[in-house]
Structure 1
Amino acid sequence: MLPCSIPTIHDPGVDRNRSSASHWILSRGTPAGTATGVCAMARQEARDVTVMERWARFVHRRKWLVLAAWLVILVAGAAAARAFGGEFQTEFRLPGSESQRANDLLKERFPAQAGGEAEIVFEVPTGIDGARPQIEEVLARIQAEIPDVAAIESPFERPGYISPDGTIARAVVRFTFDADKVPHETAMQLIRLTEEAARPGFTVEPGGRVIQFNEQAEFGSEIYGLIAAVFILLIAFGSVVAMGVPIGAALFGLGTGLALITIAARWVGFPSFSSQFAAMIGIGVGIDYSLLVVTRFREAIHAGKRVEDAVVEAVTTSGRSVMFAGVVVAIAFLGLFVMGLPFVATLATAGAVVVLVAVAIALSLTPALLAVFGRRVDSLRVPFFHQSEGVDPRSPWYRLSRAIQARPWPFALLAGGLLVVLALPLLDMQLGFTDAGNRSPSSHSRKAYDLIAKGFGPGTNGPLLIVADTRNGNGGLERAVELLRATPGVANVTQPLLNPQGDTAVITVIPTTKPQDHATTELVHRLRNDVLQRAGTNGDRFYVTGVTAGQIDASDRISQRMPYLFIGVIGLSFILLTAMFRSVVVALKAAIMNLLSIGAAYGVVVAVFQWGWGGELIGVGTGPVEVFLPMMMFAILFGLSMDYEVFLISRIREEYLKTGDTGLAVANGLTATARVITAAAAIMVTVFLAFVLGPERVIKEFGIGLATAILVDATIVRILLVPSTMELLGRWNWWMPRWLDRILPNLHVEGPPASEGEPAGAAGSRPLTAGAGQTG
Structure 2
Amino acid sequence: MNTPPSLLRRGLNALAHHVLNHPKRWLLSWVLLLLVALPGFLTVNRFLVGGNGGVTSSQALHTKDLLEARFDFPYTSNYLLVIEHPHLTLEAPAYRQAVEKIEKVLRSQEDTRAIQSWYQSQDEMMRSADGKRTYLLIGQTVAASQKLELRTGEIRAALAPLLKELHQEAGFSAYMTGMNAVIYDINKVTSASTATAEKQVFGLTLVILLLAFGSLTGALLPLLMAVVAMVLTLAIVAVIAQLTMVSNYAQSISSMIGLAVGIDYALLLVWRLRQEREKGLELKEALHQTLLTAGKSVIFAGGTFLIGLGGLFFSGITALFSIGLGGILIVVVSVAASLTLLPALLLLLGPWLDFPKTWATRLQNLRPSRLWKPLAYHVMRHPWVYGSASLAIVLAISSPALMLQIRQFDMPNLPDRLESKQGFDRMIQMQVSGQMIPLFLVLETQKPSLLNAEDLHQLKRVHAQLQANPLIERVISLATPLQEHPDLANQLPLIRLLTPNLFNLLLSHDEKLTLIQVIPKKLGDFDEIVNLCRDLRLQLGPELLKQGLTLHTGGPPALTLDYNEATFSHSPQILIGVVIATWLVLLFSLRSWLIAFKAILLNLCSVAVSYGVITLIFQEGLIPGIQTQAIMAYVPLLLFCLIFGLSIDYEVFLMTRIREAYESGESNEEATATGIRATGDVITYAALVMGLVFGAFTQVEISIIKQLGFGLATAILVDATLIRMVLVPAFMKIGGRWNWR
1:155 maps to which residue? 118
Aligned-residue offset at 1:413 = 1.8
Which runs of 5 or more residues in structure 2 are unaligned? 479-504
2:178 maps to which residue? 208
2:498 maps to which residue? none
**1:354-409 Cα deviation digits (max 9, x unpaired):** 111111111111111222233542221353765669xx997012222222222222
C-alpha distance in 1 between matches for 2:233 and 2:8 = 30
C-alpha distance in 1 between matches for 2:561 and 2:592 = 43
- Which AA in structure 2 matches 1:593? L
> Does structure 2 conserve the Cα–Cα contact (< 8 Å) formed by 1:494 and 1:509?
yes
> Does structure 1 conserve the Cα–Cα contact (< 8 Å) formed by 2:89 and 2:130?
yes
> Does structure 2 conserve the Cα–Cα contact (< 8 Å) formed by 1:85 and 1:263?
no
Aligned-residue offset at 1:676 = 1.0
2:580 maps to which residue? 571
1:270 maps to which residue? 246
Aligned-residue offset at 1:128 = 4.8
1:433 maps to which residue? 408
C-alpha distance in 2 between matches for 1:341 and 1:196 = 43
Aligned-residue offset at 1:305 = 0.7
- Of 148, 151, 154, 1:186 maps to 154
C-alpha distance in 2 between matches for 1:46 and 1:229 = 36
More deviation in 713-722 or 127-136? 127-136
Corresponding position: 1:482 with 2:490: no
Aligned-residue offset at 1:552 = 1.5
1:657-672 pair list within 5 angstroms = 657-672=663-678
Aligned-residue offset at 1:117 = 2.2
Corresponding position: 1:103 with 2:73: no
Corresponding position: 1:635 with 2:644: no
- Flag the 1:83–1:212 CA change in 2: closer, same or farther, 3 A: closer
SS in 1 for 2:176: strand
Corresponding position: 1:494 with 2:471: no
- Flag the 1:73–1:657 CA change in 2: closer, same or farther, 3 A: same
Aligned-residue offset at 1:239 = 0.6
1:588 maps to which residue? 597
1:54 maps to which residue? 14
C-alpha distance in 2 between matches for 1:552 and 1:44 = 46
Corresponding position: 1:409 with 2:351: no
> Does structure 2 conserve the Cα–Cα contact (< 8 Å) formed by 1:489 and 1:523?
no
Aligned-residue offset at 1:526 = 2.2
> Does structure 1 conserve the Cα–Cα contact (< 8 Å) formed by 2:105 and 2:159?
no
- Which AA in structure 1 matches 2:668? T
- Of 280, 294, 297, 1:321 maps to 297
> Does structure 1 conserve the Cα–Cα contact (< 8 Å) formed by 2:53 and 2:246?
no
> Does structure 2 conserve the Cα–Cα contact (< 8 Å) formed by 1:148 and 1:175?
yes
**Which structure shows the bigger proportion of residues in helix conformation?**
2
- Flag the 1:724–1:500 CA change in 2: closer, same or farther, 3 A: closer
**1:21-47 Cα deviation digits (max 9, x unpaired):** xxxxxxxxxxxxxxxxxxx97x99778
- Flag the 1:695–1:169 CA change in 2: closer, same or farther, 3 A: same
- Flag the 1:76–1:457 CA change in 2: closer, same or farther, 3 A: closer
Corresponding position: 1:279 with 2:279: no
SS in 2 for 1:170: strand
> Does structure 1 conserve the Cα–Cα contact (< 8 Å) formed by 2:81 and 2:177?
yes
More deviation in 380-389 or 541-550? 380-389
- Flag the 1:317–1:234 CA change in 2: closer, same or farther, 3 A: same
1:296 maps to which residue? 272
**1:199-223 Cα deviation digits (max 9, x unpaired):** 8986543321122122232211122
SS in 1 for 2:679: helix
- Flag the 1:564–1:138 CA change in 2: closer, same or farther, 3 A: farther
**1:648-695 Cα deviation digits (max 9, x unpaired):** 111111111113411111111111111111111111111111122232
C-alpha distance in 2 between matches for 1:427 and 1:195 = 51
1:130 maps to which residue? 91
> Does structure 1 conserve the Cα–Cα contact (< 8 Å) formed by 2:98 and 2:166?
no
Corresponding position: 1:356 with 2:332: yes
SS in 2 for 1:509: strand
SS in 2 for 1:161: helix
Aligned-residue offset at 1:577 = 0.5
Residues paired across the two proteins, number: 690
C-alpha distance in 2 between matches for 1:615 and 1:549 = 34
- Flag the 1:723–1:112 CA change in 2: closer, same or farther, 3 A: same
Aligned-residue offset at 1:487 = 4.2
> Does structure 2 conserve the Cα–Cα contact (< 8 Å) formed by 1:234 and 1:385?
no
- Flag the 1:98–1:114 CA change in 2: closer, same or farther, 3 A: farther
Corresponding position: 1:542 with 2:507: no
> Does structure 1 conserve the Cα–Cα contact (< 8 Å) formed by 2:315 and 2:566?
yes
SS in 1 for 2:120: coil
Cα RMSD over matched residues? 3.1
1:165 maps to which residue? 129
- Which AA in structure 1 matches 2:608? G
C-alpha distance in 1 between matches for 2:630 and 2:43 = 43
C-alpha distance in 2 between matches for 1:118 and 1:83 = 26
1:758 maps to which residue? none
Aligned-residue offset at 1:463 = 2.3
Aligned-residue offset at 1:254 = 2.4
Which runs of 5 or more residues in structure 1 are unaligned? 1-39, 736-776
> Does structure 2 conserve the Cα–Cα contact (< 8 Å) formed by 1:180 and 1:210?
no
C-alpha distance in 2 between matches for 1:47 and 1:361 = 21
C-alpha distance in 2 between matches for 1:215 and 1:423 = 34
SS in 2 for 1:432: coil
- Flag the 1:567–1:191 CA change in 2: closer, same or farther, 3 A: farther
**1:49-73 Cα deviation digits (max 9, x unpaired):** 3332232122212212221222223
Aligned-residue offset at 1:314 = 0.6
Aligned-residue offset at 1:120 = 2.1
2:216 maps to which residue? 240
C-alpha distance in 1 between matches for 2:98 and 2:543 = 41
C-alpha distance in 1 between matches for 2:270 and 2:444 = 64
**1:515-549 Cα deviation digits (max 9, x unpaired):** 56543233112222333544566644331111122
1:759 maps to which residue? none
2:288 maps to which residue? 312
C-alpha distance in 2 between matches for 1:138 and 1:85 = 32
- Which AA in structure 2 matches 1:89? V
- Flag the 1:468–1:138 CA change in 2: closer, same or farther, 3 A: farther
Aligned-residue offset at 1:142 = 4.4
TM-score, scaled to structure 2: 0.86
Aligned-residue offset at 1:269 = 2.3
**1:458-506 Cα deviation digits (max 9, x unpaired):** 6444321112336632443434323322345433212343257253433
C-alpha distance in 2 between matches for 1:410 and 1:282 = 38
- Of 322, 335, 338, 2:311 maps to 335
- Of 662, 675, 683, 1:677 maps to 683
1:524 maps to which residue? 533
1:21-100 pair list within 5 angstroms = 49-78=9-38, 87-90=47-50, 92-100=53-61
1:371 maps to which residue? 347
Aligned-residue offset at 1:352 = 0.4
1:462 maps to which residue? 437
Corresponding position: 1:704 with 2:710: yes
> Does structure 2 conserve the Cα–Cα contact (< 8 Å) formed by 1:692 and 1:699?
yes
> Does structure 2 conserve the Cα–Cα contact (< 8 Å) formed by 1:335 and 1:565?
yes
TM-score, scaled to structure 1: 0.82
